[in-house]
C-alpha cells in the first residue's frame, strides 16, 4: 500500500451494469499465495468467522497452519509497518474468499431458498444497495463503466439524496475506514450513485 496505487475514486457516471461477482469461499488447502487475502475460519457444522486476513502458511512438525488476524489489524500493520499477533489456524479450517462467476441479479427469496449446507462457508451473492437493509460499515462494490468492479470499499452512510439530487451513498476505501478507528482521522469519501453500488 503506497503512493503508487491508482486513485480509488477516479470518475464515475450513470448507466446500468451487470451485477458484481459473488464471493465464493475456497479451501486454503488448495494452495496459492495467502498473504493479504481475505479469509474465513471455522468448522463444518459449527460456524464461520469472517473479516479476517491471512499471512503465508507455516509448517510446524507435520501440520500446516495459516496466520490469521482481524482485518483492522492487517490494515494497521500494513499502513504503519508494524508487527501484529496472528494466531495460527490449522489450514483445513481456513477458506479463502475468491471471486466467482457473475450471475443474473435476483431478489431475495423465501426462507427455504436461503438455506445453505453446513459443510463449508456459504457463497455470498452481492445485494443491490436498494435491497440492503443497511449500508453503513458494510463492504460494498462500486461498478465501473468499463464493466469492472472496485472493491475494498466500505459504506460510510446510508442512501440519501446527493447534492445533484441523485440517490447515493458515500463510501471510503477500507484502509481509510479502519484508519478512522485507530487515528480518529475522518476518511476521504465519494458519493456513489445507487445504481452503481452493491453490498458484498
Per-residue pLDDT of the chain (200 residues; tens, 9 = 90+): 444 444 545 444 444 568 899 999 999 999 789 999 999 999 989 999 999 999 999 999 999 999 999 999 999 999 999 998 999 999 999 999 999 987 665 555 677 777 888 889 999 999 999 999 999 999 999 999 888 999 999 999 999 998 889 999 999 999 999 999 999 999 999 999 999 999 99
pTM across the whole model: 0.84
CA atoms of 116 and 126, how far apart (whole Å): 16
- What's the Cα-to-Cα distance from 16 to each of 20, 127, 168, rounded to whole Å? 12, 15, 14
pLDDT, tens digit, 9 for 90 and up, residues 59-88: 999 999 999 999 999 999 999 999 989 999
Amino acid at each position: 500500500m503506497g503512493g503508487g496505487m491508482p486513485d480509488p475514486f477516479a470518475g464515475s457516471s450513470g448507466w446500468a451494469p451487470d451485477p458484481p461477482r459473488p464471493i465464493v469461499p475456497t479451501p486454503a488447502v488448495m494452495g496459492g499465495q495467502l498473504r493479504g487475502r481475505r479469509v474465513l475460519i471455522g468448522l463444518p457444522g459449527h460456524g464461520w468467522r469472517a473479516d479476517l486476513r491471512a499471512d503465508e502458511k507455516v509448517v510446524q512438525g507435520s501440520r500446516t497452519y495459516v496466520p490469521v488476524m482481524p482485518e483492522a489489524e492487517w490494515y494497521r500493520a500494513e499502513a504503519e509497518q508494524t508487527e501484529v499477533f496472528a494466531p495460527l489456524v490449522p489450514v483445513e479450517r481456513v477458506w479463502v474468499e475468491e471471486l466467482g462467476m457473475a450471475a443474473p441479479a435476483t431478489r431475495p427469496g423465501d426462507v427455504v431458498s436461503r438455506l445453505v449446507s453446513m459443510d463449508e462457508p456459504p457463497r455470498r451473492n452481492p445485494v443491490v444497495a436498494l435491497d440492503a437493509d443497511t449500508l453503513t460499515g458494510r463492504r460494498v462494490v462500486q461498478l465501473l463503466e468499463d464493466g469492472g468492479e472496485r472493491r475494498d470499499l466500505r459504506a460510510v452512510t446510508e442512501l440519501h439524496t446527493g447534492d445533484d439530487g441523485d440517490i447515493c451513498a458515500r463510501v471510503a476505501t477500507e484502509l481509510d475506514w479502519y484508519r478512522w478507528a485507530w487515528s480518529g482521522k475522518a476518511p476521504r469519501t465519494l458519493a456513489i450513485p445507487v445504481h452503481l453500488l452493491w453490498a458484498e
